[in-house]
Amino acid sequence: MSLRLALLQLKFTKDKIANVRNAIEKINKVVQEKQPKVVALPECFNSPYGTKYFPEFAEKIPGGYTSEILSKCAKDNKIYIIGGSIPEEDNDKIYNTCTVWDPTGALIAKHRKVHLFDIDVKGGIRFKESETLTAGKDLTIVEIDGHKIGVGICYDIRFEEMARLYRNAGCEMLVYPAAFNMTTGPLHWELLQRSRANDNQLYVVTISPARDETADYIAWGHSMIVDPWAKVVKSAKENEEVIVHDVDFSIVKQVREQIPVFVQRRTDLYKTERV
């Protein structure tokens, strides 16, 4: 049995209400036209991606404006929503947080980005999420139709150890709402997804904002689904786009049987702890 997944690559503005409205309209449309079971949104989908915006856009989860609307949308459409991420306010701290909603509208997971995006590439990009954000402390797994899905946010994808822990815990798919940029996007976006998929023999899914050349931070776009062979099965371009794919989990089993590296590991020489 496959799982129909829709990825919404959306454009965002400095107007939170308009951003959330755009997301809900696009969710309703894809549900009507394609009946996906799971719809996933981009990183920071209700706010511009920038440290100066996070305090102003931050909300409580659950209970805040965006949470209430995502919960209702999941319930009305009877779908799972992997709610990209939004800035979350809790106890005077701000997190970059992905919410996951089930078809009854219940919040079944909340992942706070565990690796903050702090880089300084000379002549390229400098970004310090830690100027306003705090890192999460937990890994997050959700189960949909009996399949375990590990959740990460953007920069989290660079950390193979995290992906490996998800694989060790039985995940068959990793989902990363993500906003790479015009420096690291062309270099590493596809490479990292294919690497995580290949190393761990599972699906890797990313959902990016659409590219907006007028934004302070220009997202790379190219939301993508990579299968457990590390093959790109679907990829968006730069603009707003919806990708729909029937994820076939039997491929996970196939790859793991045919290239059995996980039973061949020399864990007497090296080991990654289990979650």
Ligand X SMILES: NC(=O)CCC(=O)C(=O)O
Residues that bind ligand X (CB under 6 A): 43, 117, 154-155, 158, 179-181, 184, 188
Nearer to ligand X, 36 or 42 (CB): 42
Least separation in angstroms between CB 125 and ligand X: 7
Q: Which of 16, 26, 37, 43 is catalytic?
A: 43
209 DSSP 8-state letter: P
Nearer to ligand X, 49 or 249 (CB): 49
Q: Which of 98, 113, 129, 172 is catalytic?
A: 113
Nearer to ligand X, 97 or 184 (CB): 184
| Neighbour tally for 260: CB within 10 Å | 11
43 flagged as catalytic: yes
Q: What does the alpha-carbon distance between residue 50 and residue 193 come to, in Å, rounded to a whole number? A: 24
Q: Rounded to whole angstroms, what are the CA distances from 174 to 42, 77, 101, 128, 184?
A: 14, 24, 16, 25, 20
Nearer to ligand X, 28 or 183 (CB): 183
Least separation in angstroms between CB 57 and ligand X: 15
Phi, psi (rounded to 5 degrees) for 34: -125, -10
154 flagged as catalytic: yes
Query: DSSP states of 32-47 as a string?
Result: HHH--SEEE--TTTTS
113 flagged as catalytic: yes
Least separation in angstroms between CB 179 and ligand X: 4
Sign of the CA dihedral running 148, 150, 151, 154? negative
Least separation in angstroms between CB 156 and ligand X: 8
Q: What does the alpha-carbon distance between residue 177 and residue 47 come to, in Å, rounded to a whole number? A: 14
| Neighbour tally for 232: CB within 10 Å | 15
Nearer to ligand X, 213 or 268 (CB): 213
147 has which bridge partners?
144
Q: Which of 44, 73, 98, 154 is catalytic?
A: 154
Do the beta carbons of residue 24 and residue 69 sit within 8 Å?
A: yes
- 238's tokens: 């730069």
Residues identified as active-site: 43, 113, 154
